[in-house]
Amino acid sequence: MGVDFLSNEETIQAARRNLDQAGWDYLVGGSESETTMRRNRAAFDRVAFRPRVLRDVSQMDPSCEFLGHRMRIPVMLAPVGGMQRLHPEAAGASAKAAAAFGTVQVVSSVTEPGLEGTAEAADGPKLFQMYIQGDWAWIEGMAPRIRAAGYHAFVLTVDNARYSRRERPIVGRSTPANLSVQRPSPGSAVTWEMAERIRDLVGLPFAVKGIATAEDAEMAVERGFDIIWVSNHGGRQLDHGLGGLDTLPEIVTAVDGRAKIVLDGGIVRGSDVVKALAMGADCVAIGKLQGWGLAAGGADGVQRALEILEDEMLSAMALVGVTTPDELDASHVAAAYPVTSAHEMSAWVNMPLDRIR
C-alpha cells in the first residue's frame, strides 16, 4: 500500500494538499448554512457509551452479513457523485479499495467511470444508486444495463426533488447559481408508485435512500422495499434538518425488523459506527471519509481509511464489552451533552479549521 496514515486526520490533511479549492469545497460542504451537516456530527456527539466490563473480548469479529455478502465491517462505501473531481480513477479506485478491504461499494449513477466501467474496475459486491435523469424510456434502458453489469441491488435516491444551494462552490464560482426559477427535474416527479414500478422493472433488492421520518419509513416498508436508507444526503440537500442519527430511533421503531436499515451522514469514526449499530442500524455508509481517502491516495487511501476505521471500531467494541456487532443494542448507549462545537471535521481535536478551509 502506498500510504501509511496513522489517523484519518492525516488522511484529511493529505486530501487538502491534493485538492484545489473547487474540489475541496465540493467534497466537504453542505447546503446553505450547513446546519444539517453540522447536526449530523452533533447527533453522534450527543450519544455516550455505557461500557460493560469483565467481558471476554480476546476474540473479536467485527464482520456482518448484508444481502448475502460477508462484509469485513458493517461499513459500505456510499455513492458519491462526481468522484473524478477527487481522483482520476474516480469510482474505479473506490471499487478496488472495497474489493481489497472486503466490503460493499455503492456506485453513484453520476460519477466516472460509469455504470459498466466501475463494475469492471474490480470484483466484489456492488449496489447501483440512481438519480432519475430521464423519462420512463430512459429508466427502461438503464435496467438491463444494471443487471448485465452484475450489480447486486438497486438504490433509488429520493431526497433530490430539487438540487439544493450548496454555497461553498457557488461563492467560489465553481458551481453556477441559477437564481431564476428552475425547470422541474426528472426527480421532482418521482412518487411512491413510480418507485414501486422501478423496483418491479429492475428486479433486484431495492433500497430507498433519503428516508428521514418514521412516516416515510412505514410507507416504504408497507410497499415491500427491502432496505430503508436513513439519510439527509450528508447535509447537502435540505438545510435545517435533523441529524441522521437523531432520526434513526423513530425509523427503527417504525420498521420493526421488516427491512434492513442503512445509515449515512457524519460517520467518520469507528465509535460512530458502533453507536449507529447499537441504536438499530444494520450497517452504515461513508461518503466524506471515502472522498478524503480517495483524494489522499486513490484506492490505497480509501483502503487505509477503512483500516483505520476498523481499528477504531474494534477498540470501541472491546471497551464497550462486545465481540461482534450483533451483541450491540440500546443498553450500550445513552444521551449525553456534547463537549465540542460540531463541524465536518470536529471528530479530530488537532484539526484547526483555518488550515483546511
- For residues 60 and 314, the answer to whether their CB atoms sit within 8 Å is yes
Separation CA 204–CA 265 (nearest Å): 25
Comparing CA positions, the residue from 226, 257, 194, 5 lying closest to residue 127 is 226
Angle between helices 21-28 and 8-18 (to 10 degrees): 140
Query: Which residue is listed with cell 457524519?
Result: 266
* Residue in 69, 233, 332, 343 annotated catalytic: 233
Separation CA 335–CA 235 (nearest Å): 22
Cell of 320: 464497550
Sign of CA dihedral 182, 196, 284, 49: positive
Separation CA 319–CA 50 (nearest Å): 10
Separation CA 111–CA 27 (nearest Å): 13
Give the strand pairing for 333-335 and 105-108.
unpaired
3-state DSSP helix/strand/coil percent for the chain, to nearest 5?
Answer: 45, 15, 40
Separation CA 29–CA 175 (nearest Å): 12
Separation CA 124–CA 51 (nearest Å): 35
Give the strand pairing for 333-335 and 47-49.
antiparallel
Annotated active-site residue 87? The verdict is no
Radius of gyration for the alpha carbons in the chain, expressed in angstroms and rounded: 19
Catalytic residues: 233
